[in-house]
Chain A
Amino acid sequence: MKKAILLSLLLPALLVTACVSKEKKDNTISISGAFAIYPMVVKWAEEYQKLHPEVRFNISGGGAGKGLADALAGVVDLGMFSREITPVELEQGTWYVGLVIDAVVPDINIDNPYVDIIKQRGLTRDEFRAIYIDGTITNWGQLLGVENGEPIALYTRSDACGAAETWAKYLGGKQEDLLGIGIFGDPGLAETTAKDQLGFGFNNTIYVYDINTGGKRPGLEVVPIDINENGQIDPEEDFYGSFESVLDAIASGVYPSPPSRELYLVAKGKPQKKVVIDFLKWALTEGQQYVPETGFVPITQNAIDNYLKKLEE
């Protein structure tokens, strides 16, 4: 008899604790992948946690490739993704929502001996291609028509990533076609270019510019793209001075796409966890107010409506 009473007392307690622990587990959102959208997701996570303190976030980088592979393997709830999703990947059951836009920009060291010439004339798409894919230009002198030029220290990303894939797409190739020393990670590539006087690399805008100051990160200078290919950087092509003006150029489409592109969060099929769906909805609505201050370009209202519809389905 005593046992029965004890049991009837304990059982509800046991059930309650079981529920609580289950609830706790369902309140975590784990995310991994592209460095491009990483700062945005971290910012959203911070703001979202202020509103919903019970939600836990688990965010790690690793590149777009890792994000997608992790999401499809079910290791994380959402993968951060920063390039176009291929048909093969859609066939595998990749589900996605676009959230913000950013761009890949080519960069060099600020102490590059030819920095003034480069800023004045810019480089055309064909010149970028000759450096990065064809390998026909390997020397700054050869590129700029200067005697006794120094060799270009060309860098690319080693890990499977959206920045390299998008940059390669702009030049008409794939990541595997890009020449140069492979450096792991977006921050690594920015760091290397900022340290090597003859370095030449590319980065997501958020890693070239400092969101707090609006200026370029120490040691980095952007290579302007000569969009109309007239051999000089015209006033309308010269928008690299501050982070804000670059973002404007991306938003208005003056900066070509690619290398500008939409950034996604992906999953294997539509996420089932309510907390994940709620977070995505919030990011697409209220969360959009944090987009400019974090250094990204908002997607169009039309696109937002479409993605929200996708979440409601």
Chain B
Amino acid sequence: MHLRRRLVDRITGSWMVLSLITILLLPIIIGAGLYYKSIPILEEHSLWQLITSSEWSPHKGNFGFWPYISSTLYVTLIAFVLSAPFCLFAAIHLTEYASKRFVRIIHPVIDILAGLPSVIYGVWGILVIVPFISKHLGPLFGEKTTGYSILSGGIVLGIMCIPYMLNMLIEFFRTVPKGTREASLSLGATYWESIKHVVIRHSRPGIVSAFGLSFAKAIGETIAVMMVVGNRILVTANPFDAGYPLPALIANNYGEMLSIPMYDAALMFAALLLLVIILVINLGFRYLIHKTQKL
């Protein structure tokens, strides 16, 4: 009996470890698979050339990923700039100022936003954001644009990031102990001063990681951005121009993989690039969290 119990204990214990190892190995397996599939293109072109060249004509064997990489980063940057401040202030209001009843109402709203399929954001972007940019915002800046642009992609993506970012921020602000806040108030600090110096300071690693995770998630968003971004191979600094992010490249051209030589390797390389970009961003934010935690 004793033996049996120990055995069961062992087995259940090792199952858990095995599951954990599998999960930890997943990114490595995915990365290795993508690398294996993109070997043909890496053998024919140098990595540097693939990343920095802007020439894209698969039929002629030219694969330059720079327009895709720059579009990806540009769209994500706009999304981040547009959503991060709003989320931060909204989260402060919800945790510090708002009444309990209001919070109870607002939570389902955030959850609904998080649960909407991305294609709905895409359609909404085409119906609202694209015409708004082409008719109002573009002319305001003296730009003739169809509205299908990096800016539209950034706006749609920014809105899609909000629920995740907001939820995480709210959670972090809630973990700030009541005592520290009260201590600050009792020292004569105003309410806003305590928020600024105590609450925000205390949850700084949390804020950084909320931004980081939303940022990394945003980069991979495909359908909604693809529907409004214009899908033009272009390196540009003008947000009213169209762009072509990496996920859209993969989704749009998955069908042509079979008929053009090297195309499958190129698309797998695109996926690998995306993985690496997200990895680098994650590591960067990890480092930032590490730094802020020390403060």
Binds B, one of A175-183, A256-264, A304-312: A175-183
Residues of A61-100 at the interface with B, using a CB-CB cut-off of 8 Å, are 62-69, 72, 86, 88-89, 92
Tell which of B59, B230, B242 touches A176, judged by Cβ atoms closer than 8 Å. B59
Measured CB to CB, the closest approach of chain A to B65, in angstroms, equals: 15
- B-facing mask of A195-228, CB < 8 A → 1, else 0? 1100100000000000000000000000000000
Binds A, one of B6-14, B42-50, B168-176, B248-256: B248-256
A159 to B255, alpha carbons, bound, how many Å? 8
Q: Report A-chain residues with C-beta under 8 Å of the C-beta of B255.
A: 62-69, 159-161
- B-facing mask of A96-120, CB < 8 A → 1, else 0? 0000000000000000000000000
User: B144 an interface residue at 8 Å Cβ cutoff?
Assistant: yes
- A-facing mask of B238-273, CB < 8 A → 1, else 0? 000010100010011111111111000000000000
Residues of B49-68 at the interface with A, using a CB-CB cut-off of 8 Å, are 56-59
Measured CB to CB, the closest approach of chain B to A8, in angstroms, equals: 39
Interface of A is mostly: mixed
Q: Are B232 and A182 in contact (CB under 8 A)?
A: yes
Q: Are A153 and B146 in contact (CB under 8 A)?
A: yes
Q: Report A-chain residues with C-beta under 8 Å of the C-beta of B144.
A: 151
A153 to B258, alpha carbons, bound, how many Å? 32
Q: Are A65 and B231 in contact (CB under 8 A)?
A: no
Q: How many residues of A contact B (CB 8 A)?
A: 33
A127 to B231, alpha carbons, bound, how many Å? 24
A150 to B255, alpha carbons, bound, how many Å? 36
Q: Are B254 and A69 in contact (CB under 8 A)?
A: yes
A88 to B251, alpha carbons, bound, how many Å? 22
Tell which of B244, B252, B258 touches A92, judged by Cβ atoms closer than 8 Å. B258
Q: Are A69 and B56 in contact (CB under 8 A)?
A: no
User: B131 an interface residue at 8 Å Cβ cutoff?
Assistant: yes
A155 to B126, alpha carbons, bound, how many Å? 14
Chain A residue nearest in CB terms to B249: A158
Q: Report A-chain residues with C-beta under 8 Å of the C-beta of B56.
A: 176
Measured CB to CB, the closest approach of chain B to A33, in angstroms, equals: 8
Q: Are B58 and A176 in contact (CB under 8 A)?
A: yes
Residues of B141-181 at the interface with A, using a CB-CB cut-off of 8 Å, are 144, 146, 148
Q: Are A181 and B232 in contact (CB under 8 A)?
A: yes
User: A184 an interface residue at 8 Å Cβ cutoff?
Assistant: yes
Known: A64-B255, A65-B253, A86-B259. A184 touches B227 (CB 8 A): yes
New A-B pairs, 8, CB < 8 Å, besides A62-B255, A182-B232 = A66-B254, A69-B257, A88-B259, A88-B261, A159-B255, A160-B254, A181-B231, A188-B227
A residues near B (Cβ < 8 Å) are 62-69, 72, 86, 88-89, 92, 151, 153, 155, 158-161, 174, 176-177, 180-184, 188, 192, 195-196, 199
B residues near A (Cβ < 8 Å) are 56-59, 126, 131, 134, 144, 146, 148, 226-227, 230-232, 242, 244, 248, 251-261
